[in-house]
Chain A
Amino acid sequence: MSTLNTCPTIPRQLSMLAVVIGLTLGLSACGDDDDPVTMTPTPTPTPTPTPVTYRYEVSVTNLTHEQPLSPIAVVLHESGQLWQVGESASEALEMLAEGGDNSALLALDMVVASSSGEAPLAPGASQTLQISIDDKDMALMSIVTMLVNTNDAFTGLNGIPLSELAVGQSWTGTSFVYDAGTEANSEAQGTIPGPADGGSGFEMTRDDVDFVAMHPGVVGSDDGLTGSVLSHVHDFDNPAMSIRITRTE
């Protein structure tokens, strides 16, 4: 995975600071008279800094053969991670990974801004989402979506730092497929929410290893999993999604 392009960002806060300092100096000069006259200070409006908006455009492409991606969730946050390999999945992640429902993830406390696709992203299709925040140049971006013809597979990026991305610059990368570890990969009828099955999504019960890991891949009926509703057409490999993040403002 490539790293962020290193390039000096425009020091907007610095120039803002210079303006504030200039105002403060001007004020103290006013009170610098010889006679200690009590002056009613003219109410000086506190300079309201113009909010600096950081706007990003996120373009993703579904690289799989026959794994539609659930509505893409893009979130900005200042700390934390949506998942960690080797650790138990949050319930919000479980809901996304088992059923493609990103609403709980978007509503997490850590989320500062979010954007979501309206509909699933078909194999081979691309989509561009917009997201922005004000006055936070240290944001992390996470992107997450379910491979819907699976039990609990998801792909995405986890906390990509955006602080070094200048206006007009892009970050390009791809994403691996993870297994939420919350639902056994039975591939059985009724357990897969995507069009390959039309089964159920999120179930509270955890009947798998209960830690997030890289996904072992689809087995399917062709590779001998009895009762699997999946076949070789649902196979995927890493990576599953290509991603371009461009800072537009």
Chain B
Amino acid sequence: MKSYLSCTAGLAMLMAAPVYSAQLSIQVQNLTQGIYFTPLLITAHTPDISLFNSGEAASSELQAMAEGGDISALVSLASGLNANNLENPAGGLLAPGQSASGSLATDDANSRLSLVGMILPSNDGFVGLNSWTIPTEPGTYSVYLNAYDAGTEVNDEIRGGGAPGEAGMPVPPPLEALVGTGGTGVASSESNSTVHIHRGNLGDDNLSGGSSDIQNQVQRWLNPVAKVTIVVN
């Protein structure tokens, strides 16, 4: 009877908190022809937390990432919740068509994988993976990712700042020559202030005027925008 009890207790513990850790090799490829990704945050975390949820308002930490490419607040948040983080595997911007790789050792119970990074040029667009269940079986897995809109900033598609709440798009040096000037603004209000699938850039064909500073021939996209290849060792 005693042994039976300890056996069930052991089972209950297993069911309550699956304890395993994994060594992951992760490659992210930017599948687009003309969109850049700002530094990516890849994080393994517990099932009860998430970096974002569609249909819900973005956290201030997510907003800072989506409007300005700053992942530091999200990193602090995730670290405080004992997540395992792989920060900025590209060492800066991940250019169109390019890949970045890294390793991630996950702790007990960090069974979900998430990824975020701002997409440029955009006002508050980001590429996202939300709480993908890390397989326990070793193997190679591929996941295609969509572009989301944080819902925190009007998609005016004109040059501006990347600080949270500041209007316009940040334009870091590599994009300086690729993004136009003098646009009057594509939109002045947004009706959806929750995280949602990005409706895409409109852009225009006027680099020194028009409504948008985005080039419509090269800086639009269709989903998916990224492919993540995860090797579970």
A: residues with CB less than 8 A from B are 1, 85-87, 176-177, 179, 181, 184-186, 209, 211-217, 219, 223-226, 237-238
Contact = CB atoms under 8 A, between A and B. Distances in A.
Contacts of B208: none
Nearest to B99: A86
B125 to A, nearest CB: 14
Contact of B202 (A209, A213, A223, A226): A223
From B34, B96, B204, name the one whose CB has the most chain A CB atoms within 10 angstroms: B96
A213 B217 contact: no
B97 A216 contact: no
Contacts of A223: 202-203, 216
B205 to A, nearest CB: 5
Contacts of B34: 209, 216
A224 B202 contact: yes
Given A224-B204, A224-B205, A213 B32 contact: yes
Nearest to B34: A216
B185 to A, nearest CB: 14
B97 A211 contact: yes
Contacts of A176: 224
Contacts of B205: 224-226
22 contacts: A1-B142, A85-B29, A87-B97, A179-B33, A185-B218, A209-B33, A209-B34, A213-B31, A213-B96, A214-B31, A214-B222, A214-B224, A215-B33, A216-B34, A216-B220, A216-B221, A219-B216, A219-B217, A224-B205, A224-B211, A225-B205, A226-B205
A92 B31 CA distance: 21
Contact of A217 (B98, B99, B144, B222): B222
A161 B98 CA distance: 25
From A1, A181, A219, A237, name the one whose CB has the most chain B CB atoms within 10 angstroms: A219
B77 to A, nearest CB: 31
B225 interface: yes
Contacts, number: 77
Contacts of A185: 217-218
Nearest to A212: B97
A81 B91 CA distance: 29
A238 B144 CA distance: 12
B225 A214 contact: yes
A101 to B, nearest CB: 23
A225 B220 CA distance: 12
A209 B14 CA distance: 52
B181 interface: no
A15 B200 CA distance: 57
A8 to B, nearest CB: 19
Contacts of B216: 219, 223-225
B89 to A, nearest CB: 16
Closest 10 CB pairs of A and B: A86-B97, A213-B33, A216-B220, A214-B31, A211-B97, A217-B222, A219-B216, A224-B204, A213-B97, A185-B217
Contacts of A179: 33
A1 B227 CA distance: 12
Contact of A209 (B96, B203, B222): B96
A219 B200 CA distance: 11
A153 to B, nearest CB: 11
Interface in B166-214: 200, 202-205, 210-211
Contacts of B97: 85-87, 209, 211-213
Given A186-B217, A223-B216, A214 B32 contact: yes
